Structure 1
Amino acid sequence: MVPLIARQELKAAIDAGKITVVDTMPVNYYEKEHIETAVNIPGFPYETAAESTRQHAPTVLPDKDATIVVYCANIPCRNSEFVGAELLNLGYENVYKYREGIEDWVEAGLPTESSHE
């Protein structure tokens, strides 16, 4: 199981530039809106999440010692759990999950960005 990180901790780490954020939503959702600075590793459909993680991680997460936070839409969404677990399997040491996801982030009025800007 991937350890959790709270919204306030995540925001502080982003502001300090000490974290890599991974959006685990499908590409079209990621392009529409994601937490600022986030990279994308699609974790849906669930059956291909591990394969997708193995394919994308070496490029978007070259440093296995970096602190990484994965997130998806909301608490019921499981994309981030699948991607986070596979990152741990691949030897990434510091992986956390922002369980509440982008819905909580947006509701809190925190900044997002779009790949279509």
Structure 2
Amino acid sequence: MKSINTITRALVAGLVALGLSTSAGAFSLGGDKFKEEVSKEQESVALVRQVQQGGYGLVTTAELKAMIDSGKDLLIIDTMPYKESYLKNHIPGAKQFLFPIPDMNEWDSKETDGKSMEDFAQLLGPDTNRTIVVYCGFVKCTRSHNGALWAKKLGYTNVYRHPGGIFAWKGAEYPVEGSK
């Protein structure tokens, strides 16, 4: 009968070998985690800078769902193209208003599907304290930044961006409206 010390050493050696082979395999199959982190960092910093520039808040997918479920009076705005996205699926109750992907520092009706700043203000309504949540497709999409930025420029105070957008909403398996 082998001693407990010998068995323990053999067991530890086997676990170390298994751990090394598993992590090497995961590393080669899962991509370069270090390069992936650079990409995450770039997206995170870009988001923070947009929020600082726009002066609006952020809301997570779970927080938005809780706001909806609580019956809170809020306006949700989908900034994606109407036919290509909004009609297919959108967060329940969301209204559509197209914004462009590049920074929209000045109002350009060509970029907003022919709609004016007054059209946007009309959608937002007269209550400048109403909670407004703007979203687009996913974190890197900047349509929601433009929508939130313009809501703030028009004097609305409780403006939030839902950066995960419809992708995060669907990823959380929350219900959507539209033709799917």
> Is this a same-fold pair by TM over 0.5?
yes
TM superposition shift of 1:56: 3.1
Q: Percent identity?
A: 34
Structure 1, unmatched stretches of 5+, are none
Dislocated runs of 4+, deviation >3 Å: 45-53
Show the counterpart of 1:59.
122
Tell me the distance in 2 between the aligned counterparts of 1:47 and 1:88: 15
Question: TM-score normalized by structure 1?
Answer: 0.87
Aligned partner letter, 1:26 = P
CA RMSD of aligned residues (A): 2.1
| Larger relative helix fraction | 2
**Residue in 1 that maps onto 2:169:** 105
Are 2:66 and 1:12 equivalent residues in the alignment? yes
Aligned pair count? 116
Deviation at 1:72, TM superposition (A): 0.4
Structure 2, gaps ≥5 residues long: 1-50
Task: Report 1:71-82 matches (<5 A).
Answer: 71-82=135-146
In structure 2, C-alpha distance between the alignment counterparts of 1:99 and 1:105, rounded to whole Å: 10
Residues 35 and 111 in structure 1, CA contact (< 8 A), matched pair in contact too: yes
Equivalent residue, structure 1, for 2:160: 96
Distance 1:75 1:47, change over 3 A: closer
Q: CA deviation at 1:9?
A: 1.1
How far apart are residue 27 of structure 1 and its match?
1.2
**Which one of 96, 115, 120 corresponds to residue 40 of structure 1?**
96
Q: Specify the code of the residue in structure 1 equivalent to 2:143.
A: N
Q: Once structures 1 and 2 are overlaid, which stretch shifts more, 36-45 or 72-81? A: 36-45
Q: Quote the Cα distance in structure 1 between the aligned partners of 2:121 and 2:150.
A: 12
Partner of 2:82: 27
Higher strand share: 1
Higher RCO, Cα 8 Å, sep 6+: 1
Whether the 8 Å CA contact 2:132–2:160 is kept in 1: the answer is: yes
Q: Which moved more, 1:8-17 or 1:74-83?
A: 8-17
Q: Give the TM-score of the pair, scaled to structure 2.
A: 0.58
